[in-house]
Amino acid sequence: MADKPRPRIIVAGQLSESATERLRNAGEVVFLKKGDERTLSGAVMEADALVVRTYAEVTHKVISAAKEAGRLRVIGRAGVGVDNIDVRAAHGAGITVVHTPAACTSAVADLTVGLILAVQRKIVVGDRKLREGEFKSLRAGVPDVRELQHQTLGVIGMGRIGRAVGTRLHNGFDMRVIYYDIREIGLLPFAAEPRRSANEVYAEADVVTLHVPLTSLTRGMINEAALEQFKQGAVLINTSRGPVVEAQALAKALEAGRLSGAGIDVFDPEPPPSDHPLLSAPNGVLTPHIASRSYEGITAMNDVVDDVIGVLTGKEPMYPADPNLG
């Protein structure tokens, strides 16, 4: 009796040695050099599983090709967001999508706090000007800086990361926390006050931090009209997804002094081109989409392979993606 063929697992992106070894123990592993729509459309025709990272384009066309071939059983996204996968189409084709929703909660929350401090305490500017020979001028006069304990934090999206940020800033810095979420939020591990709309949060918060998935509802939610609702001199932090914020509108708000600063880790597109409006806007601290990139975060994201292997062996997925998020 012939041995049953080993499953073919296509990987678009880098994985750790440990994750790769686990996949190789489960099947034949093929790494792709590209993760674009055309490459993936061909690859999924002969794949039982597909593992991707942030920039792979698992579009409706890719899912259609997989459905036509009738072989692909599972797509694993090493990360939290599944906006680069047409999850609805996959669900309709009977393909399971799994991800790692809790993998980088602490890493993203840590960077969010760091960006708030960097923007408000002008850490990056101070470092640069000190190296340029300024010292006394930076210490002159009364600083336009308020301690976090006297400020209100506004959280948009009180999921895992929003809660982690709120916990750090309320329990650690004694900030008052308000929030808005489209879902009903239960008990929180810190004191926080819900608001009926995002606009209410914008109008009241000294710092607004975004922790939402990229969906049709959140794409471009921070636009010119939304920014007009912000409290004068507020700070915006975005460690979610670049397209959630309209970059030109934010740059104009910073240039006009409507906002006193912004901390931005994600862009649209990525990497940002040299003429991206936020690169020249004042009072911004920019980081290259590194919020999730801690040692622990990357390790946990790579663990998506365990769920992929589980689905291939007939087990129920531990972390299936919500079809409404794709």
Residues designated as active site: 241, 270, 289
The answer to whether the Cα torsion of 298, 304, 306, 312 is positive or negative is negative
Instruction: Classify the phi-psi angles of 257: left when phi > 0, otherwise alpha if psi is within -120 to 50, otherwise beta.
Output: left
Q: Which candidate, 135, 119, 129, places its Cα nearest to that of 281?
A: 119
Residue 171 CA to residue 22 CA, distance in Å, equals: 39
CB neighbour class for 212 (10 Å; exposed up to 12, middle 13-18, buried from 19): buried
Radius of gyration of the chain (CA): 22
Residue 202 CA to residue 206 CA, distance in Å, equals: 8
Residue 261 CA to residue 319 CA, distance in Å, equals: 36
Q: Beta-carbon neighbour count of residue 263 at 10 Å?
A: 25
Residue 36 CA to residue 15 CA, distance in Å, equals: 18
Residue 231 CA to residue 211 CA, distance in Å, equals: 19
Residue 74 CA to residue 167 CA, distance in Å, equals: 35
Instruction: Classify the phi-psi angles of 22: left when phi > 0, otherwise alpha if psi is within -120 to 50, otherwise beta.
Output: alpha
**Helix (H/G/I), strand (E/B), else coil: 178:** strand
Q: Beta-carbon neighbour count of residue 117 at 10 Å?
A: 15
Question: DSSP class of residue 320?
Answer: B
